C-alpha cells in the first residue's frame, strides 16, 4: 500500500502521517510506502519497514508530481491548500493551489489510469455561504462568500465528475472548524476558538472577541484525522451520487466551550478569558453555519467527538 500526501508538512498532514505510521495498515493492506509532498520539506519520521520519502515541491508546477504518479499510489490525500485569508489576499495563488493543482492531480490519475486510486481531498465549511437555512444538510447549496470556499467548491465538482466517470475513486470531506489547535494564535478569524481554551489550559490569558452566545461547528484534530483515515476505507459504491459532504462536527456555543473549560480546569482557568468584542471578527465568524444534519457522513461511518469535554481531555492528554 503506497500512500501519497500533499500538504504533508501542514498541521493535518503531519498528524495524519503519524497516525498512518502508528497503524501500519490501511484498507487491510500493510503500508509499504509513504510519499510526503509539500512545498516545505515535511519531517520524515522513524518508520520501521515503511519507506517514507519527503519531497519538497510546488505541486502547481507542471509535471511536479510525475515521479510520484510513476509509483502508482493507491491512496492520495490531497491536503495542500492556501487557506482562507491568504486565498482572499492573493486570488491567483488561491486558484492555482486550491483549484488548478487539484485538477492536475485528477488528470495525473486519469493519465496513468489510476481509476482505483482513492483520492481524499479536504474541503471546508467556508464553501457554504449566503442566505443559509437554520440547519444545513447534504442538499444545501454551496454559495461561497470567499475565494477559498469557491475554489474548494469547484474542486469538489471536479473530484466528483472524475469519480463519476470512473477516472479515479475520489472523496471530499468538508471539515468543521478545528478546535483545539496546538501552538500559537494565528491570523485566522477562528483562531480565538482554540486560544480561549488552549491559553487558559496553559495558565495564560486569552481574549474572546465574540459574544458567548455565538454557536460554532467544531471537531477535534484527532477526530478529523480519524475521518481522513476512514475516508480511505469507505467503499466507493457507498458514496452515492455526490462525493463531497460535511463531517459530523458538534454544535456548541462559545459559552458552552468556556463552561467545559471551567469543568476541566477550574475557576482560575475560566477567569483567564477576557471578553473584548471585536465586531470585525464577529461579523466573519457569525456568518459561518453552525448547525448541520450530517446524515451522509454518519451513514458512511464517520464519527465526531462525543462532547466538548472529550475535546479538552484529548488536548490535555496529548500535551502531557
Ligand X SMILES: NC(=O)c1ccc[n+]([C@@H]2O[C@H](COP(=O)([O-])OP(=O)(O)OC[C@H]3O[C@@H](n4cnc5c(N)ncnc54)[C@H](O)[C@@H]3O)[C@@H](O)[C@H]2O)c1
Q: According to the binding rule CB under 8 A, does residue 130 interact with its own copies?
A: yes
> 308 in helix, strand or coil?
helix
Nearer Cβ to its own copies (102/195): 102
Q: According to the binding rule CB under 8 A, does residue 141 interact with its own copies?
A: yes
Going across the sheet that includes 51-56, the strands are 51-56, 33-38, 2-6, 75-78, 118-124, 169-175, 244-246
Q: According to the binding rule CB under 8 A, does residue 286 interact with its own copies?
A: no
Torsion angle of the four alpha carbons 243, 22, 197, 254, in this order, in degrees rounded to the nearest 10? 20
128 is annotated as an active-site residue: no
Minimum distance from CB of 160 to its own copies (Å)?
7
173 in Cβ contact with 138 (< 8 Å): no
Rounded-to-integer distance, Cα 143 and Cα 135, Å = 15
Single residue of 140, 251, 298, 310 touching its own copies by CB under 8 A: 140
Nearer Cβ to ligand X (83/272): 83
- Residue 271 makes CB contacts below 8 A (sequence gap 6+) with none
Instruction: Mark the segment that binds its own copies (CB under 8 A) among 139-147, 174-182, 275-283, 310-318.
Output: 139-147
Nearer Cβ to ligand X (13/289): 13
102 in Cβ contact with 78 (< 8 Å): yes
Instruction: Mark the segment that binds its own copies (CB under 8 A) among 9-17, 33-41, 238-246, 268-276.
Output: 238-246
Catalytic residues, by residue number, are 148
Q: Which residues contact its own copies (rule: CB under 8 A)?
A: 91, 129-133, 138-145, 147, 150, 153-154, 157-158, 160-161, 164-165, 240-242
Amino acid at each position: 500500500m503506497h500512500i501519497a500526501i500533499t500538504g504533508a508538512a501542514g498541521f493535518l498532514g503531519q498528524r495524519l502521517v503519524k497516525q498512518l505510521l502508528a497503524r501500519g495498515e490501511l484498507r487491510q493492506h500493510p503500508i509499504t510506502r509513504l510519499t510526503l509532498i509539500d512545498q516545505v520539506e515535511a519531517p520524515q519520521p522513524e518508520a520501521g519497514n515503511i519507506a517514507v520519502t519527503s519531497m519538497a515541491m510546488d505541486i502547481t508546477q507542471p509535471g511536479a508530481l510525475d515521479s510520484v504518479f510513476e509509483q502508482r499510489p493507491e491512496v492520495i490525500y490531497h491536503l495542500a491548500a492556501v487557506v482562507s485569508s491568504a486565498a482572499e489576499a492573493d486570488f491567483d495563488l488561491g486558484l492555482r493551489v486550491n483549484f488548478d493543482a487539484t485538477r492536475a492531480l485528477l488528470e495525473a490519475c486519469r493519465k496513468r489510469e489510476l481509476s482505483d486510486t482513492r483520492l481524499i481531498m479536504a474541503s471546508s465549511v467556508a464553501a457554504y455561504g449566503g442566505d443559509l437555512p437554520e440547519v444545513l444538510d447534504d442538499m444545501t447549496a454551496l454559495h461561497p462568500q470567499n475565494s477559498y470556499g469557491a475554489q474548494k467548491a469547484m474542486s469538489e465538482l471536479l473530484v466528483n465528475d472524475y469519480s463519476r466517470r470512473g477516472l479515479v475513486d475520489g472523496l471530499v470531506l468538508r471539515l468543521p472548524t478545528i478546535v483545539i489547535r496546538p501552538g500559537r494564535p494565528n491570523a485566522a478569524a477562528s483562531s480565538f476558538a482554540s486560544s480561549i481554551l488552549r491559553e487558559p489550559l496553559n495558565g495564560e490569558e486569552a481574549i474572546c472577541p465574540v459574544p458567548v452566545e455565538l454557536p460554532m461547528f467544531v471537531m477535534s484534530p484527532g477526530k478529523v484525522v480519524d475521518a481522513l483515515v476512514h475516508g480511505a476505507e469507505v467503499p466507493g459504491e457507498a458514496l452515492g451520487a455526490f462525493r463531497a459532504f460535511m463531517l459530523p462536527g458538534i454544535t456548541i456555543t462559545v459559552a458552552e466551550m468556556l463552561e467545559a473549560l471551567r469543568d476541566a480546569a477550574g475557576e482560575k482557568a475560566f477567569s483567564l478569558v477576557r471578553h473584548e468584542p471585536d465586531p470585525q471578527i464577529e461579523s466573519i465568524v457569525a456568518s459561518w453555519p453552525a448547525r448541520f444534519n450530517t446524515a451522509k457522513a454518519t451513514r458512511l461511518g464517520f464519527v465526531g467527538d462525543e462532547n466538548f469535554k472529550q475535546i479538552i481531555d484529548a488536548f490535555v492528554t496529548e500535551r502531557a
